[in-house]
Structure 1
Amino acid sequence: MNKLSAVFWDVDGTLADTELCGHRVAFNLAFKDFDLNWYWDKSKYLDLLRISGGLNRIINYRNEIYSDITDDLCVKIQSRKAFHYKELIDAGEIKVREGVYRLIHELAVFNVEQFIVTTSGRNSLEPFLHKALNSYLNYFSKIITYEDVINHKPFPDAYNLAVKLSQNSNLNCIAIEDSNVGVEAAKAANINCLMTLPPWSNNFQNITDKATACVDGLGNDNNCTKLFYGKPLISNYVDFAYLNKLNN
């Protein structure tokens, strides 16, 4: 039996609903600051989520529309975007997803090591963590960000690093992700992965079938989790027992 020893949390869309109400808004404010006639509506931004990392999205979009802005300006836009994102965090616009606090605490009770494994940059991540998860940060052993690896999701580098630092077998670890890219990264590292569909997901046909299980969220007593595929839930929501079950 592979006892669950470590859980690796993604951030954007998994720990919190950061994408449409946070990052997208901050990007558009940064574009305006640089007098760019760019605007990412919800549809365009969801399309860009297939690309890991904010700077990579800016560069990809620049190339897509044949803009002549330089790489240096792309870096400056990303930096300005981080400023606006922090302001949104400080204003309380970024909300932790339901069930996250409960599960973090429960995993700690069962002595499960917890890591944050994200493609977000540390400068944009830390304000969110200290605002929304400040009293829970001591439950996390390590935080792996964009700066810690060369190849980002869907490459397995971040998860390989997490396994190495945790000193656990990948058979005793599980990732929690919200995106196809994240699931691919976890599976490429030979880690089981629970996919929690993001709040903005409305097209199940585009969701990968490679996750170990797929649910609509972690759930709580008053909001039961809906299972799309994978092993049946043990209770009405995702808990330690269910994550342990997925690894066996």
Structure 2
Amino acid sequence: MKALLLGSIGTLSDTSELQREAFNAAFLRHGLDWSWDRDDYRDMLRASGGQDRIETQAAAEGISVDAAAIHATKSAMFQEMLNQGRADPRPGVMDAIERARADGTKLGFVTTTSRANVDSVLAALDIVPETFDIITSSDDVTHGKPASEVYHLAAERLAVSRADCTVVEDNVGGVRAALDAGMACIAWPNENTADHDFGGVRVAGTNLGDTLYPATADAR
């Protein structure tokens, strides 16, 4: 492994429930009586794209909404939640980052969410951007995940073969993007994607550091 690529906000902090809360708050702000419960949201997470989920809901109800505006409100509310300290690093992720840096492994935070979301989660977790050799966002690609474009871009910018990259993803769309780019991928489901089918991809245990660096874990 020459590059370790953390593929979504959810690989740093399990924010899935915060995001659902932000969606529901945004719906109220826009005068919609929608309320996504946890079971519905779990099913929605089988596909990538928050704005697409809003458009799908509107189509199902036969109404027209400004999905982009609603999603922008949701993102602003989510960022405010992060600014309020409502996020913690997932178990072992900081250990994995530190070990990768110590080993000289290149590090990437390879998302296709907004740069504002990226900046907010890094600030909430006290992670300086310079921790990573590359950080991507929706600004960097034409097509978000599950398209593999962002992973091709990351390998190119890091000057590393895609075959030498290991990706960690918490959702099916992200896993698909990594595999389609020809990269090894480890699924690390969040609390709302734990029952999703990752197609036989290796699934990380509770602690990411122990999964990626088992010899270090055994030595503790």
Give TM-score scaled by structure 2 length. Answer: 0.90
Alignment of 1:90-239 (within 5 A): 90-135=83-128, 137-203=129-195, 206-211=196-201, 213-219=202-208, 237-239=210-212
Match of 1:19 among 1, 16, 19: 16
Match of 1:89 among 79, 82, 92: 82
On the 8 A contact 2:16/2:192 being kept in 1, the answer is no
On the 8 A contact 2:187/2:198 being kept in 1, the answer is no
On the 8 A contact 1:196/1:215 being kept in 2, the answer is yes
On the 8 A contact 1:196/1:218 being kept in 2, the answer is no
Paired positions, count: 215
Counterpart residue type for residue 8 of structure 1: L
Which segment is superposed worse, 9-18 or 176-185? 9-18
Structure 2 Cα separation of the partners of residues 133 and 58 of structure 1: 31
On the 8 A contact 2:24/2:35 being kept in 1, the answer is yes
Give TM-score scaled by structure 1 length. Answer: 0.80
Q: Could you report, residue by residue, the CA deviation over 1:139-174 in whole angstroms, capped at 9, with x for unpaired residues? A: 201111123212222221111111111111112111
Name the CA shift for 1:166/1:241 in 2 (closer, same or farther; >3 Å).
Answer: farther
Structure 1 Cα separation of the partners of residues 192 and 88 of structure 2: 14
Alignment of 1:70-85 (within 5 A): 73-85=66-78
Match of 1:44 among 23, 40, 45: 40
- Runs (4+) of structure 1 moved beyond 6 Å? none
Structure with greater helix percent: 2
Name the CA shift for 1:241/1:138 in 2 (closer, same or farther; >3 Å).
Answer: farther
Instruction: Indicate whether 1:53 and 2:49 are aligned.
Output: yes
Match of 2:7 among 2, 7, 10: 10
On the 8 A contact 2:147/2:177 being kept in 1, the answer is yes
On the 8 A contact 1:151/1:157 being kept in 2, the answer is yes
Counterpart residue type for residue 48 of structure 2: S
Counterpart residue type for residue 15 of structure 2: T
Structure 2 Cα separation of the partners of residues 157 and 241 of structure 1: 31
- Equivalent residue of 2:211, what SS? coil
Counterpart residue type for residue 198 of structure 2: T
Instruction: Indicate whether 1:35 and 2:24 are aligned.
Output: no
On the 8 A contact 1:184/1:210 being kept in 2, the answer is no
Structure 1 Cα separation of the partners of residues 181 and 102 of structure 2: 27
On the 8 A contact 1:119/1:145 being kept in 2, the answer is yes
- Equivalent residue of 1:94, what SS? coil
| Deviation of the 1:131 alpha carbon | 1.8
Name the CA shift for 1:7/1:219 in 2 (closer, same or farther; >3 Å).
Answer: closer
Question: Over aligned residues, Cα RMSD in angstroms?
Answer: 1.8
- Equivalent residue of 1:238, what SS? helix
Cross-structure match for 1:63 = 59
Identity %: 27
Greater relative CO, 1 or 2 (CA 8 Å, sep 6+): 2
